[in-house]
């Protein structure tokens, strides 16, 4: 029937009014068609008399048939069938009533049959007109998007059946979907050259590679139930499940959304206190090294909120630097930045950057971090992580930088790999640089979920390809934090630090990588060990089963924030620099390390790192050279 909400909707009464008009017009035309020239005042009087009860009867039948309960814009063939049944039933009822009372004397049967047909045509026509009006709006929107094709993603739909048609119709009618459908691909030769909603079927799957190259296709939507996703084009593709698969649970809607990394932490994300951060960033010149990496780019996004006078972007990767530059300009509407393409170990370049821009706050995030890669290329850890950090810290002292925040890692604690040992050396450089006018602090991280090269994106790619998911060891575990947590932690440390401290975030209990893999499989709508297998491959070179956050000789002290801890290291108080003799000895050892790095002597590099960092346990493995 009719709901209370419909009774409050003026469109409900508009449709009834239109139907009343059509009932009158259809009956009048039926009389006119039956009697033609012989239509006189007597026929008109009979028409008027019948009209007084035929119109209310039809309205009642339409109401009982639920024809006013639907949404006009979604009128379908099923609605038209219900309309035809209502018209047929009302016509039969009218004829039955005329037989029962005046026994059809003076009435023509053909009038009411014609009236029923005209009623269906007129009332159905207005409903289809409404349906196509809204569909036309979607097409117009699609046409408007075509005029802005530089913003659109160029796509092909594989499968010119019902599923493919539904995808195209949704793209055409949904304003939020910014796709330009270039054509269909289908293996049925009978469909080739035909069009669906104006979009042609271009050929079969065998021609897919050639068609994508000619049309410069960016995305392929696969709408075939039997598709396995092997398009052999190298172009990004999505296999779109049917509605039936979603309903019966064969495909989970979780597969259609991005995984929220916070679901994998095993704890609630820490809420850091941003008060006071603005005081040291507002209207300051800020330098971010490694600005194009996962942490560096998020740092830039966070820093922009505090309205720095200028943001200096430094990165050795051209593409990474370009991406963060474009994001700042076109998405965050930040124009007060300077991109510098270069390496942190280039002392002349770094000195020029500090001399020209006079940064007041430095966030040093530039570093090589992938453990197995650095393990077989240890000279790069010396050159980039150690020498590069010393160059930037020395420049900060010479140019009177107010605050310097070093990004470190939990792998610096009792390290078993070159990457961790190199980061521990940078912490020592940081502590020996304190006391020269610049407030130096470090932030020690756990693993950052979602960062480039981290295990989670790798697992997601494996799941997308049907598995297996590879885990090094069933007992391996790690501390995890999100990218925003990491960036906020860096900013927090810059605000809280008085010099020489190493800050770390309370990250709860470590999470087993195997458990995280299982959670990720479930969040993707699959069952671990059934739909997606987990395979254990053994610990990689330099990898530990368990990570730690503090090392021997370090004491944990509370801070003003409940989720942030600070380490008082090796007996040094927060405001005391290391002895000059200690600093000179450290720098001498680093110079020797640099000499070994230039000779690519991996074993000697590890031995020297062991001398600098006694708690380091080198691995007996081969380098690439």
| Terminal Cα distance for the chain, rounded | 81
Q: How do the residues of the chain divide into helix, strand and coil, expressed in percent and rounded to 5?
A: 50, 15, 35
- Alpha-carbon gap, residue 371 to 547, rounded angstroms: 13
Q: What pTM was computed for the model?
A: 0.58
The SS3 call for residue 407 is: strand
219/174 Cα distance (integer angstroms): 18
CA distance to 147, 157, 298, 447, per residue, from 563 (Å): 51, 49, 20, 17
131-147: buried (b, 16+ CB within 10 Å) or exposed (e) per residue?
beeeeeebeeebeebee
C-beta atoms surrounding 130 within 10 Å: 17
Per-residue DSSP letters for 58-116? HHHHHHHTTTTSS-GGG--HHHHHHHHHHHHHHHHHHHHHHHHTTTTTT--HHHHHHHH
* pLDDT for res 71: 59
How confident is the model at residue 541, as a pLDDT? 64
Mean pLDDT by 10 residues, the chain (625 residues): 63 82 87 71 79 87 78 66 87 84 70 87 82 60 45 82 82 77 88 84 84 83 61 60 55 46 53 73 94 90 92 95 94 92 96 97 93 92 96 96 92 90 94 88 75 69 84 78 78 85 74 81 76 84 60 61 67 52 91 95 94 91 83
Rounded-to-10 torsion of CA 307, 312, 315, 318: 90
Q: What phi, psi does 327 have (nearest 5°)?
A: -65, -45
Q: Are 379 and 597 in contact (CB under 8 A)?
A: yes
The H-or-E segment that residue 443 falls in is: strand 439-445
């Amino acid at each position: 029937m009719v709901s209370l909400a419909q009774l409050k909707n003026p469109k409900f009464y508009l449709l009834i009014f239109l139907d009343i008009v059509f009932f009158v017009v259809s009956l009048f035309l039926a009389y006119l068609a039956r009697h033609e020239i012989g239509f006189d005042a007597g026929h008109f009087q009979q028409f008027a008399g019948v009209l007084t009860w035929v119109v209310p009867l039809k309205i009642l039948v339409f109401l009982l048939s639920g024809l006013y309960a639907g949404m006009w814009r979604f009128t379908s063939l099923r609605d038209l069938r219900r309309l035809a049944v209502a018209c047929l039933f009302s016509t039969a009822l009218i004829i039955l009533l005329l037989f029962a009372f005046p026994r059809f004397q003076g009435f023509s049967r053909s009038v009411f049959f014609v009236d029923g047909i005209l009623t269906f045509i007129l009332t159905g026509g207005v409903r289809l007109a409404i349906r196509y009006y809204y569909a036309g709006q979607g097409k117009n929107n699609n046409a408007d998007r075509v005029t802005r094709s530089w913003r659109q993603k160029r796509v092909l739909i594989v499968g010119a059946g019902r599923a493919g048609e539904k995808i195209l119709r949704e793209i055409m009618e949904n304003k939020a979907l910014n796709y330009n459908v270039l054509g269909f691909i289908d293996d049925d030769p009978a469909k080739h050259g035909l069009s669906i909603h104006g979009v042609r079927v271009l050929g079969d799957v065998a021609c897919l590679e050639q068609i994508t190259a000619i049309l410069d296709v960016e995305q392929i939507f696969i709408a075939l139930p039997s598709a396995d996703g092997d398009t052999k084009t190298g172009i990004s593709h999505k296999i779109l499940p049917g509605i039936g698969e979603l309903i019966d649970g064969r495909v989970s809607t979780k597969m259609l959304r991005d995984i929220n990394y916070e679901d994998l932490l095993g704890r609630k994300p820490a809420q850091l206190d941003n008060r006071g951060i603005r005081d040291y960033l507002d209207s300051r010149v800020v330098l971010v090294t490694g600005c194009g990496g996962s942490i560096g780019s998020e740092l830039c996004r966070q820093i922009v909120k505090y309205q720095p006078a200028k943001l200096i972007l430094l990165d050795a990767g051209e593409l990474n630097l370009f991406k963060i530059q474009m994001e700042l300009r076109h998405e965050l509407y930040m124009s007060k930045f300077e991109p510098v393409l270069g390496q942190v170990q280039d002392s002349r370049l770094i000195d020029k950057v500090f001399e020209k821009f006079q940064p007041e706050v430095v966030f040093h995030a530039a570093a090589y971090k992938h453990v197995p890669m650095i393990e077989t290329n240890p000279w790069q850890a010396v050159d980039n992580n150690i020498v590069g950090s010393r160059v930037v810290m020395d420049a900060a002292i010479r140019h009177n930088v107010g605050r310097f925040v070093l990004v470190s890692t939990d792998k610096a604690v009792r390290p078993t790999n070159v990457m961790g040992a190199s980061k521990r050396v940078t912490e020592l450089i940081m502590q020996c640089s304190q006391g020269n006018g610049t407030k130096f602090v470090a932030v020690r991280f756990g693993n950052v979920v979602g960062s480039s090269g981290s295990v989670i994106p790798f697992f997601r790619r494996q799941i997308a390809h049907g598995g297996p998911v590879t885990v090094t060891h069933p007992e391996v575990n790690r501390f995890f934090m999100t990218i925003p947590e990491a960036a906020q932690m860096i900013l927090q440390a810059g605000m809280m630090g008085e010099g020489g401290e190493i800050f770390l975030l309370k990250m709860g209990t470590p999470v087993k990588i195997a458990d995280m893999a299982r959670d990720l499989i479930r969040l993707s709508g699959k069952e671990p060990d059934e739909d997606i297998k987990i395979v254990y491959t053994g610990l990689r070179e330099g990898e530990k089963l368990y990570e730690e956050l503090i090392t021997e000789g370090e004491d944990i002290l509370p801070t003003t924030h409940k989720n942030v801890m600070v380490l008082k290291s090796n007996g040094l108080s927060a405001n005391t620099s290391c002895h000059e003799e200690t600093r000179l000895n450290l720098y001498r050892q680093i110079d020797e390390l640099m000499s070994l790095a230039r000779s690519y002597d991996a074993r000697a590099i590890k031995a020297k790192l062991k001398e600098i960092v006694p708690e380091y346990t080198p691995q007996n493995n081969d380098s690439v050279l």
